[in-house]
Each structure stands twice: as structure tokens, then as C-alpha cells.
Amino acid sequence: MSETVDKIVNMEGICKTFLSVQALDNVDFSLMKGEIHALVGENGAGKSTLIKILTGVEQPDAGVILINGQKEAIRSTQNAQALGISTVYQEVNLCPHLSVAENILIGREPHKFGFIDRKAMDAGAREILRGLGVDMDVTQQLGTCSVAVQQMAAIARALEIANAKVLVLDEPTSSLDANETAQLFTVMRRLKGEGVSIIFITHFLNQIYEVADRITVLRNGKLVGTYDVKSLSRFELITKMIGRSLVEYDEMVNIKKESRKFIKSEAWLKAEQLSRAGSVEPFDLNLREGEVVGLAGLLGSGRTEIAQLLFGIDNPTGGTLSIDGAKIEDFAPLKSIGRGVALCPEDRKESGIIGDLTVRENIILAMQAGLGWFRFLKKQEQYEIADRYIKLLNIATPSADQQVKNLSGGNQQKVILARWLATNPRLLILDEPTRGIDVGAKAEIQKLVLSLAEEGKSCVFISSELEEVLRTSHRVAVMRERKMVAEFTDESGDQIMQAIAGS
């Protein structure tokens, strides 16, 4: 069959502007029947905007969309679903107070005698999840489930949309462990074999080469090109994505080596057999000024639980935490801020940004909380602080008064970093700081972490990407099944993988 016949989606000359930002500039994109097509690019490249236009969330300023060769004006998500387009966005938008089954089948619940047939609904949801390789209690409230389970529920809901021929997955594996990712890829390949077309957005380049057929690269709202996966090396792909040499990434090794010279000999923060029943087993952790300690492990291994203990979100049930030799008795986030401890949380949407506030208001939030609500920062001082960190972190925003919800994911992450850097912390805890952002922004954050270490700050760096942990950390502690099982100073990826696996 010809390429024209095989095309299920064809977007031509798509343009979109938000305020003064050109999000898409004459972008073409095509999706073939029964293919997995990776859509990649840096923060602000236009990936999410292109998908929102395809799924009816946004309307293009110019351009044409053809579905199965027919010109379509996709005015809403319902319109897109009627055309067979189903979507799972990067920031999962579910109903936490409903059950897993209700979330999966919302709007499509089976009825009996005019009422929702809950038995049939639960059975249907359970069967859908089993198709994803997940066997769980679908009657439990979704809000009590892990981020990974919520992500799987969102994917299951998208797959359930009737007669879906196009499935858009925006960072679907960002909260999944290796086994869950493998299960998802199995489902994706099965759907591909059944003729379903998949748009796959991810920042895990190894996953692109594992499962995708073609790659479309966007940069700064423009199309760089579309390529067969087999014909494009990873080096070439990253170069096209970031539009500059990879030398600066290779320099990370030298940057980290140089930063070791600034590590102090004595630990200022000590956790000794610190634990929380049902959360994390007793562990020891010492932190020195100028040191970056990475926490490696699979999803649910206890990394986030350690972060929450160190920041005072959770109270320990055993062991001690001491700072400068003084035992900590009062565990609370506000107290931690006063002690110079800061936490950038894993879920920036739920626990990080406040979308309706401006970039300026988000940045000064923690500093204002530390001062107390009766010592207000003057407006001029707020702007000076915000502008300083916008420049320092290269935050892409028209102004400090832009609502933070209008920024790309990576720039939202930088705003959260700016918020805590403004408090001048002694310890910066970063829980998945590069989750869902592009390789260029990742490198910027990694370099920032090491530059902060050179200034004498300590950092706990948590990432699901082992390569990133190795690149950024002076020392790596391995978590497995909520236990700290090993520690490495001269990092070896193979040794750490074996510790994570328990071999």
C-alpha cells in the first residue's frame, strides 16, 4: 500500500502562538497505521502543544489536520475520541476520591436496571488491567495508590475508549519501574500488531530505540525532521534535539571530578539507624558539605521515604537525626526550612508548583514561609529575587508575572528549584528533579547541582535513571525493598545494578 493510504494522521503547517511565545511554527507530522512513532525534543520544543492540537485541547492558528485522509476540525477531546484518538497526558489527571475501577470506566460504566452495575464495572476494570499485566484490587480509592498504579490506571482508561485507533502516550513510563515498563511495551507491541497507531513521547532515549519505529524531532517549535529509528544513532538524535555539541555532556565527568576537591572531611548531618515503621527500614546516612549523595533503586524501594524523613514530612519511629551534633526532636517541614534543609518533591504538579500563581510568587513562596506571614517581602525585593533565578536557571518565561502553569514541564521544575535555592539551603534534597524533562534541561540541572556542591552545599539526588545518578553523585547509596543495602564511592554501574537486583 502507498504511504498516503497508510497514513492515519497527517498534520500539515501547524502553527500556534501563546501570548508572545511561538509554540509551533509550520510543523508537519504524520502517523502511519500500526506504528509506534516517538515524538521528541527539548523543553518548549512544542511536543505537548502539537498533541493538544491533535486531541482538541487547543486549536491551531494555522494548518490542516487529516484523519484517514479526511480534513478534520478537532474542536474538543470528545471530538478527538469520536475520531478514535485516545490520550494519556504526562501529568495524570484522575479522580483520587473514586475507585480504580470508577476512574478506568468513568463515563462508560455498565448499567443494570437503571443503576451502575458495580460488580460488572469492577470485573471489567480488572480485566482491562490484567491486559496491562497488572492484578490489583480495583475497588480501592485511587488516591491511596502509588503514582505508578495511578499511571497504569490512566493508561487503562485511555485504552478503554471505544474503537481507539490512535493512542497518545505522553511520558507513560516516567513513574513505572523496569517490570511495569516492560509490561507496557508488551501492550504497545500488541496494539501495534492489531493496527493501532501510537504516538510515544518520552525522554528515555533507550526506550525509543527499544520500541519505536520512527522518530520526529522538534526544536524551538519547529520541525527538525522525521527519521527511521534504525537509521538514526543516539548521538545524532541528541544532537538534533538540542542543536549543539555533546561535548558539554562529556564534560560532566571532569566537572564532578573537580567538584570532589570542595568536599569537607566531617559530616554535618548524620542519620543513625533512622527509620519509620512500614515506610523505611533503619539506615545510616552521613552528609558532608560540598557532597552529592545519590539514592539509587527501583520505584518503591524507599528513596522518597528517606527524603520525606530528612525533610520532616514524616516523623521517624526509630533512630536519630542530628545536625551539627545536635539531635533533632521536632520534625516538620517549616522547622527543616529553618535548619537549612530544602526538598524538591517527586510530583511537581501535586506537591510543587501552584499553577495559578505567577513565577515570581512561586519562587518566593518558601522564603516567605520561612520569614513568617507578618514579615512580608517587599514587591521590589520579590521581583529582584525572581529575576535573579530566572536568569540563573535560564527559565523560559515571558516575565516573572507569567502564571507558572503556562510554562513547560522542565521550566516548572526550574521554578521549584529556584524556590528552594532562594532560601539558601545547606541541604538540597532533589527527588526526581529531571523527571519528564528533556536531555538539555537535565544537563543544566546536573551541572547546577555540582556547582552548588562547589559552593559548600550538600545534596541528596534521587533519580530513576542510574546513569544520571552516576554522572551527578560523589557517593551512591542503593535502596532495595525499603532498605539501604549498599554504598559506593567509586561508582560502578554494574555493581550498583547488582545491588539493586539483589544479586
In terms of domains, do 293 and 213 share one?
A: no
The answer as to whether 347 is a domain residue is no
In terms of domains, do 70 and 101 share one?
A: yes
Backbone angles phi, psi at 47, to 5 degrees: -60, -55
In terms of domains, do 393 and 407 share one?
A: yes
In terms of domains, do 383 and 461 share one?
A: no
pTM of the model: 0.58
Q: What was the pLDDT predicted at 178?
A: 78
- Tell me the angle at which helices 118-131 and 147-160 cross, rounded to the nearest 10 degrees: 100
In terms of domains, do 482 and 501 share one?
A: yes
In terms of domains, do 20 and 152 share one?
A: yes
Q: What CATH number should be reported for the domain holding residue 164? A: 3.40.50.300
In terms of domains, do 413 and 298 share one?
A: no
Mean pLDDT in each 10-residue stretch from start to end of the chain (503 residues)?
70 89 92 96 83 94 95 93 85 83 88 91 90 83 82 81 82 77 86 91 87 94 95 82 55 79 91 93 95 86 92 94 94 90 78 84 84 80 90 86 84 86 90 75 82 91 84 91 88 76 68
Q: What was the pLDDT predicted at 426?
A: 93
The C-alpha atoms of residue 74 and residue 85 are separated, in whole angstroms, by 10
In terms of domains, do 89 and 212 share one?
A: yes
In terms of domains, do 283 and 358 share one?
A: no
The answer as to whether 346 is a domain residue is no
The answer as to whether 399 is a domain residue is yes
The boundaries of the domain holding residue 117 are: 3-243
Residue that is last in its domain, among 243, 275, 310: 243
In terms of domains, do 63 and 34 share one?
A: yes
In terms of domains, do 360 and 479 share one?
A: no
Residue that is last in its domain, among 424, 441, 469: 424
Q: Say whether 439 sits in a helix, a strand or coil.
A: helix
> Whose grid coordinates read 527524603?
307
Q: Give the CA count within 13 Å in the CB-facing half-sphere of 333.
A: 14
Cβ contact 307:354 at 8 Å: no
The answer as to whether 39 is a domain residue is yes
Q: What is the domain count for the chain?
A: 3
Residue that is last in its domain, among 199, 226, 243: 243
In terms of domains, do 495 and 399 share one?
A: no
The answer as to whether 345 is a domain residue is no
